Structure formats: structure tokens, C-alpha cells
A and B are shown apart, each in its own frame.
Chain A
Amino acid sequence: MNRRNPPGAAGWVLIALAVIVTVLLLGAPLLVIFQQGLAKGWGAWWRVVSSGETAQAVGLTLLTMAVVVPLSGLYGLAAAWAVTKFRWAGKKWLVSLIELPYSISPIVAGVACLTLYGSSGAVGAWLLDHDIQIMFAAPGIILATLFVVSPFVAREVMPLMHLQGSDDEEAALTLGAGGLRTFVAVTLPNVKWALLYGLILCAARALGEFGAVSVVSGHIRGQTNTLPLYIDLLYHDYDNSGAFAVASLLTLLALVALVLKLLVERRAHGGFPR
């Protein structure tokens, strides 16, 4: 049902105001990123973007995403199945715990990971004895990112699975399908768009996570920089055009995620436009 009307005079004033605010507050920063990134020309932009240090940061960022996105997806699906397909006491508590990381500052998440895995923590001391490096290395960055994005898929899949109930699955089971086959052939197709939507949110956040990662990375140049950390490093080295060149690269990736999210959004939310 379309309830939107052509605006009247007052409506146009409000639209104009909304457009002005959006352009100034949200559009201008985007423009600035590319303007500053290309301030020294395409050649300089390409030199920064194709440098070895950028390649290392891109590699670590992609590695993080490659681990974080599938794991968070599996966890989200498992959590949604456990919470929506069964009735049991304490469900509400579990949902609250699943959503807990939403309300935790990324810095606090980073400090929590550091206390556990850092050399002075209980687990950290054991790791040190066994010569396993987690903090200030890729595993620490991955663990911190897993923490921050953990509720993303569950949050998207749970409402849809709840809405769909269990009738389809029960029918499949009655017809003789096994549990796994029922899940793959019936449940997964039913929630695929919500799952995809959650995975996109996960990927976008893993791509851009800064606070939690900056606590656990150790900022070792050429080794433990993700793309956002590398921007930070260049920026504080007073390499403005370098920082913005990398920022523009990261922005392009983020915009790809945004477009994918918009494409999936309508289907993910039950076929109705928001």
C-alpha cells in the first residue's frame, strides 16, 4: 500500500531541509574523502593503493573477513534455530546475552580480549608458555572482530525464523527427510535473504572495525595493520593524501557493501518495502 503523497508547500520545505542536512552532514564527508584522496592526482593515489603496506593491510582485512563472516553466519543460524524452533526456559536470557555485544563499546570489547589473551591474563600466560601468539597478531584481530559482530546474523535471522514457525520443517520430517536435509532444503531457503543481509552487515563491520581492533593489533607496521588501522597510521604520520587514498579505497568497499545491503534489504524483510 502506497501511503506516500505528493508533498504540499509545507512538504516541499521539509524535503528541502532534509536534503540540505543530508547533503551537508552525510554527503559532504564522502566527497571530501575522494577529493583529498585524489588531491595529488591519480598517479599518487595508485602508488599508495598499490604499495606493499596497503597490500598487507588489504590482505589482513580480507583474511579477517574470510574467517569472521562464515563463523558468525554459522553461529547466527545455530542461535536462531535453538531460540526460535523450540520452547525452553531461559530463552529470553540467552537472547539478551546474544545481543549483549551491541551495547558494548568497541574499546571495551578490545580491552576484554586483551585481558583474556594478553600476557598477564590467565589464558595469555598459558599461550605464552606454549609460544602461541594471539595478541598483537592476526588471531587477536579476528577474535576481537568476532566479538563485535557476533549478534549481527542472529539478529536478522531470528525474527524471520520465528515468524515462519516450524510447519514447513515438520512437514519435511513427516515426509521422511532427515534433520540436516530438512534444514538445508527447507529452513535455509526460507531464511536465505535475512541470512545474506546479516552476512553483509557482518562483512561491512569486519571491514571497518577500528576501536576493538586497534586495542589488540599492536599496530605493527607492515604486519598487523588492517585498512582502518593503516589509515590511522598514515594520518598520524602527517601523510594526509596517503591516509585519504587508503580511506577512499575503504570507502569504495563500504559503498559496495551498502549497495548489496540495499539490494537484499527488501527481500530480507519479508518482501515488503520498509
Chain B
Amino acid sequence: MNQGFRAGALPGLSLTLGVTVTYLGLIVLLPLAALLWRAAGLSVAEFLAAVGSPRALATYRLTAFSALLAVTFNGIVGLLLAWVLARYDFPGRRLLDALVDIPFALPTAVAGVALTAATSANGLFGPALQGLGWQVAHAQPGIVLAMAFTSLPFVVRSVQPVIEDLDLDAEEAGRVLGATDLQVVARVILPVIAPSLLAGMTLAFARCLGEFGAIIFIAGNRPFETEITALLIYIRLEEYDYAAATAIAVTVLVAAFLVMLAANGVQAWQQRWLGRNHR
């Protein structure tokens, strides 16, 4: 790119930078600053009481554990989908590819009511699930299902391009040297796609931690059992307990930052990794 010493030739830096910073400040940073300011105004005891109450702790455990299960599921299913879409030519491939984007397009509240209706006792899968003895709607598996649904595309879309770019010669070489299919997958393919898989799973995890709309319909929302953190914030607001809502919201904000920091770390590692593999 010719952005070096000639960059000064283009006009509009002060205008566009001014618009960007003003807009970003007003729309995003000012509300966040207000949130942090309000939280900073709480006494330490107040903050800890809100953030560390047994009910809040139960929501963190539930949210994080469910997100972990959902992301594990998506790691497997997302890899399968990405592989099939990237590697094979078959009728309906483009339709399948389009279907993967449904969770991105479908409003979360709609996804929530639909998943609940599909898995409740008189729903589409209700009888089958009951036959298996699985309670999904209004129980923790429902939370995992809603999280898995909303975050699946993150994994697929992060792994798919990497599989498309795989070096087929390396696989060929492995086979010529007598490796079995499984050995090729384990030794040649997985090491290359692992970083992108991990990056996609981290993004999915962050999304799961913050998800609200899809989950509250299916969760059952019983305190200490099926209440997620985002809902507890909402409930505290409805109780006009703004201090507690603010404190928990800031906690969620910080947790999200830590996850994204980890994601950036993984991505940087992925870049280096790919750089090494691509000469």
C-alpha cells in the first residue's frame, strides 16, 4: 500500500476523525463511562454484596458452565460443518452454507420462543426428548441449546476459510509417505486449523456469556437453578436496585474484556502460526 510519505496528500483526516471520535464518544464511550462512574460511586461493601451474593454467584457458575458446554458442542459441530462446506461438492451445499447464517439473521427473541416451543413437552421434539428422559425446555440443557444455537456461526465462519486454504500437497505427501486418513487428519490438518477453531470458539464463548434474548424464554429462570447473569441484571433493574444492576453489569463487562483479550491473544498466535506454515 502506498500509505507512506504520500499519505498527507488526501484531505479529510480532521473531518472524518472528528466525526468518528465524536460519534464513538457520544454513542458508546459516554454511556460506558457513566456506567463505570456509577459503579465507582458504590462503596466497596455495596459492590461486593451485589456481585458476591449467593444468587449472583450461582448465575456466574451457570452461565460460564453452560457457555463452556455450548462452545464444546459448537467446536465439534462447527468443525464438521466447516469441513463439509469447504471440502465437498454436493447438491445443496450452497443452501447448507446459507442455513449456517440463520442464527446471525434470526432475532434472538424469535430464536428463544422457537427453541422453547420446539423442545417443550407438546412441541415438535417434546415427545422424543421425553422418551429419552431429557428435560430441555425450562432447564439447564435449554440454556446450553440456546447458547449453541446463537453462537454456532462464529465457529463455522472462523474455521471454514482456513480449511479452504489448506495445503493439499501436504496431505498428499502424508498419504504418499504411508499415513492413514486418521493420521493425516491428526498430524497434518488439525494442527493448521486448531488456532482458528480456538479463535472461533473464544468468540462464541464471549457471545454465550452475554446472550440474553434467546435464553430467557427457554431457561425457566428459577433463581439459583436456571437464572443467567444477564437476567439477574435485568431483574435488579426491575426491582429498582440500580446499584446492584450496575455492579453486576460492570462485572460482566470486565469478564467480556478478559475473554476478548484472550481471543486477541489466540488470534495473534494464529497469525504467527499461519505465517510460519505459509513460508
Nearest chain B residue, comparing its CB with the CB of A178: B11
Interface residues as binary, B74-108 with A (CB distance below 8 Å gives 1, 0 otherwise): 00010011011111111011001011111111111
Instruction: Beyond A85-B7, A170-B9, A210-B109, list 16 extra A-B contacts (CB 8 Å).
Output: A26-B149, A32-B114, A33-B117, A75-B20, A75-B23, A105-B211, A116-B34, A116-B35, A150-B27, A165-B1, A169-B10, A179-B10, A228-B110, A258-B105, A262-B98, A274-B160
Contact segment of B47-55, B253-261, B270-278: B253-261
Cα distance A110–B111 when bound, in Å?
A: 20
Q: Is the CB of B31 within 8 A of A115?
A: yes
Query: Of A15, A33, A209, A258, which one neighbours B114 at CB under 8 angstroms?
Result: A33
Pair B234/A235 contact, Cβ less than 8 Å: no
Take A4-B86, A82-B13 as given contacts and tell me if A165 and B3 are in contact as well, using a CB distance cutoff of 8 Å. Answer: yes
Whether A264 sits at the interface, judged by CB under 8 Å, is no
Q: Does the CB pair B107–A32 fall under 8 Å? A: no
- Cβ–Cβ contact A208 & B107, under 8 A: yes
- CB < 8 Å: which of B7, B32, B106, B168 contacts A254? B106
For A55, list chain B residues within 8 Å (CB). Answer: none
Q: Are B24 and A105 in contact (CB under 8 A)?
A: no
Known: A4-B88, A28-B125, A251-B106. A111 touches B237 (CB 8 A): yes
A50 at the interface (CB under 8 A from B): no
Stretch at the interface among A41-49, A93-101, A188-196: A93-101
Contact between B233 and A107, CB atoms less than 8 A apart? yes
Residues of A within 8 A of B212 (CB): 105-107, 210-211, 214
CA separation between A6 and B87, bound complex, in Å?
A: 9
Q: In the complex, are the beta carbons of B109 and A232 less than 8 A apart?
A: yes
> In this complex, what residue of B is CB-closest to A113?
B31
Instruction: Say which residue of A28, A146, A258 sits within 8 Å of B101 (CB atoms).
Output: A258
Contacts of B111 in A (CB 8 A): 29
* Nearest B residue (CB) for A97: B24
* From B10, B101, B113, contact of A231 by CB (8 A): B113
Contact, CB under 8 Å: B102 / A26? yes
Is A215 an interface position by the 8 A CB rule? yes
Q: Are A103 and B206 in contact (CB under 8 A)?
A: yes
Identify the 8 closest CB pairs spanning chains A and B, nearest first: A208-B107, A105-B210, A210-B213, A29-B114, A112-B31, A179-B11, A211-B212, A116-B34
Q: Which A residues are CB-close (under 8 A) to B125?
A: 24, 28
Q: How far is the CB of B214 from chain A (nearest CB, A)?
A: 9
- A45–B155 Cα distance when bound, in Å, is 36
Q: Return chain A residues, CB-CB under 8 Å to B35.
A: 108, 111-112, 115-116
What's the least CB distance linking B142 to chain A, in Å? 13
Assembly CA distance A7 to B90 (angstroms): 7
User: Known: A86-B13, A215-B234. Is A108-B249 also a contact (CB below 8 A)?
Assistant: yes
Establish whether residues A166 and B10, one from each chain, have CB atoms under 8 Å apart when the complex forms.
yes
Interface presence of A38 (CB below 8 A): no
Q: List 28 A-B contacts (CB under 8 A).
A: A4-B89, A7-B88, A21-B77, A22-B99, A26-B103, A28-B124, A29-B149, A30-B102, A32-B124, A71-B23, A78-B23, A82-B13, A105-B252, A112-B35, A114-B237, A115-B37, A116-B31, A143-B27, A146-B27, A169-B10, A170-B9, A210-B212, A211-B108, A244-B117, A251-B106, A254-B105, A254-B107, A258-B101
State the A residues within 8 Å of B (CB).
2-7, 10-11, 14-15, 17-19, 21-22, 24-33, 35-36, 71, 74-75, 77-79, 81-83, 85-88, 94, 97-98, 100-109, 111-118, 120-123, 143, 146-147, 150, 162, 165-167, 169-170, 173, 179, 183, 204, 207-211, 214-215, 227-229, 231-232, 235, 240, 243-244, 247, 250-251, 254-255, 257-258, 261-262, 274
Chain A residues touching B, majority SS: helix
Is A18 in contact with B124, judged by CB distance below 8 angstroms? Answer: no
Question: Which of A25, A28, A94, A165 has its CB near the most chain B CB atoms (within 10 A)?
Answer: A25
- Given A21-B81, A26-B149, A111-B237, check contact A250 B110 (CB 8 Å): yes
Complex CA gap A180/B80 in Å reads: 48
Report the minimum CB–CB distance from B216 to chain A (whole Å).
8
B60 at the interface (CB under 8 A from A): no
In the complex, B57 has a CB within 8 A of chain A: no
Q: How far is the CA of A55 from the CA of B11 in the complex (A)?
A: 46
On chain B, the residues within 8 Å of A207 by CB distance are 107
* Structural contact, B98 and A258, CB atoms closer than 8 A: yes
Proximity string of chain B (24-43) to chain A, C-beta cutoff 8 Å, 1 when within and 0 when not: 10011111101101100000
Instruction: Kindly provide the distance from the CB of A124 to the nearest chain B CB, expressed in whole angstroms.
Output: 9
In the complex, what's the smallest C-beta–C-beta distance from B7 to chain A, in angstroms?
5
Q: Which residues of B contact A214 (CB under 8 A)?
A: 212-213, 234
Chain A CB within 10 A, most for which of B16, B160, B211, B217: B16
* Bound complex: CA A122 to CA B18 (Å): 24
Q: Are A103 and B24 interface neighbours, CB within 8 A?
A: no
Q: Is the CB of B7 within 8 A of A87?
A: yes
